[in-house]
Structure 1
Amino acid sequence: MASDFWLIAGLGNPGSKYEGTRHNMGFMTADVLAERWSVNFSDHKGLAMLGKGVMNLSGRNVKFFLAKPLTYMNESGNAVASISAYYQIEPDHIVVIHDDMDLDFGRIKVKAGGSAGGHNGIKSIDRSLGTPKYARVRMGVGHAQRGAHAHDNTVNWVLGGFGPDQRKQLPEFLADGADAAETIIFDGLAKAQERFNGR
């Protein structure tokens, strides 16, 4: 029987050298949610840091798991699929938060299904779950320079940190990402898209 828990997975890379990088937007947003809802993380089979909590909005309680995969970005699906299978959480109760280079910094897009947009973490989750039909909170980090060294530029960009102006805006942006995940859970995908996608 499917669980009534939700799973929110914030994607990133483990280890101090990746802290605060663009690719770790998901981890940082998960930390905001953990603080908001008093979630403590512990190890799940060496694949993820996992915590459990209850959200209460508009008088409704929702039980959820919050995950930060430890598999490195490109194998995120192993962690998400393991938690999903272990706790019997269906894809329609999964929200994945990740960085997105196709959106300017500060922009959020909520979607379910569709293309992975070149994001290796999302490709991995699509493969491991056998479907792309889970909700995603895409957090804009802007685009690397294109041209002759596009691949290297992209790697350096996503593994790089934020400039001083963006660092100032980051707390509010992360809070918006956390709000987007909560809105999907409490009000549904369409409402979340209406609220966040047009900004």
Structure 2
Amino acid sequence: MLILAGLGNPGGRYAGNRHNVGAMAVDEIARRWNFAPERSRFQSLAREGGIDTPKGAVRALILKPQTYYNDSGNAVGEALKFYKLTPADLVVFHDEIDLAPGRFRMKAGGGAAGNNGIRSISGQVGPDFRRARLGVGHPGHKELVQGHVLSDFHKVEQAWLSELLAACAEAAPLLAAGEDEKYQAEVMRLAPADKADTRQQRQGRNDQ
């Protein structure tokens, strides 16, 4: 059993925000692999299904916490406890400002790096869960971050965004098989993106 949690804020007001790209990704996985319709469970919108792998289908539960982003751990922790799963059985899809737009990285464990949703989940289940980090870029200054992640993707970003979400779904068998490094490589093969280092971008903006 695998839990795929996509972080975001509930309601139509936030649906297109950069902060909701994790929820967008798990929605696309659910669509690609024909998961069951959404229902309310674990303070979330949940969908059950399976992802085909060479060794057979892996049962999965998709969660979109409805607790608001910063309290995502309440929902995710409840689901893990119910199914008696370990952090290794949890993959959290979330926006990452320290990756250039369209970039994708997998990571297991570590700190929250200022992400309050990840901090909330770590507080409930420990830090050793798997993270699928979707790059949304950095606005250049710390005080602009909240407005950046709580604003919608621009029209010019829709092409790479659609490609990235589709790649996350298409490569999902590797994720379900526990092949996180191969999953990362395949997502980036299917949806290549600029390798720009957002830390350098921020420095460049600060120097102007």
TM-score (norm 1): 0.88
Asked whether the 8 Å contact 2:74–2:124 carries over to 1, the reply is yes
Cα offsets for 1:118-139 (capped at 9, x unmatched)? 111000000011x211111000
Counterpart in the other structure of 1:175 = 166
CA pair 181-61 structure 1, distance change in 2 beyond 3 A: closer
Asked whether the 8 Å contact 2:38–2:47 carries over to 1, the reply is yes
Asked whether the 8 Å contact 2:168–2:187 carries over to 1, the reply is no
5+ long unaligned stretches in structure 2: 193-208
Amino acid at match of 1:145: G
CA pair 195-34 structure 1, distance change in 2 beyond 3 A: closer
1:87 aligns with 2:78: no
Amino acid at match of 2:40: D
Counterpart in the other structure of 1:53 = 49
> How far off is 1:192 after superposition?
2.9
CA pair 133-90 structure 1, distance change in 2 beyond 3 A: same
Cα offsets for 1:53-78 (capped at 9, x unmatched)? 01113362100100000000000000
| Aligned-pair Cα RMSD in Å | 1.8
Amino acid at match of 1:135: R
Give me the whole-angstrom Cα distance separating, in 1, the residues matched to 2:177 and 2:85.
Answer: 17
Counterpart in the other structure of 1:42 = 39
CA pair 85-187 structure 1, distance change in 2 beyond 3 A: closer
Counterpart in the other structure of 1:7 = 3
**Secondary structure of 1:97 counterpart:** strand
Amino acid at match of 1:156: G
Counterpart in the other structure of 1:140 = 135
Give me the whole-angstrom Cα distance separating, in 2, the residues matched to 1:134 and 1:181.
Answer: 17
CA pair 178-117 structure 1, distance change in 2 beyond 3 A: farther
Counterpart in the other structure of 2:22 = 26
CA pair 119-197 structure 1, distance change in 2 beyond 3 A: farther
Q: Which of the residues 94, 101, 105 maps onto 1:105?
A: 101
The correspondence of residues 62-77 of structure 1 with structure 2, limited to 5 A, is 62-77=58-73
**Identical pairs, percent:** 37
**Secondary structure of 1:43 counterpart:** strand
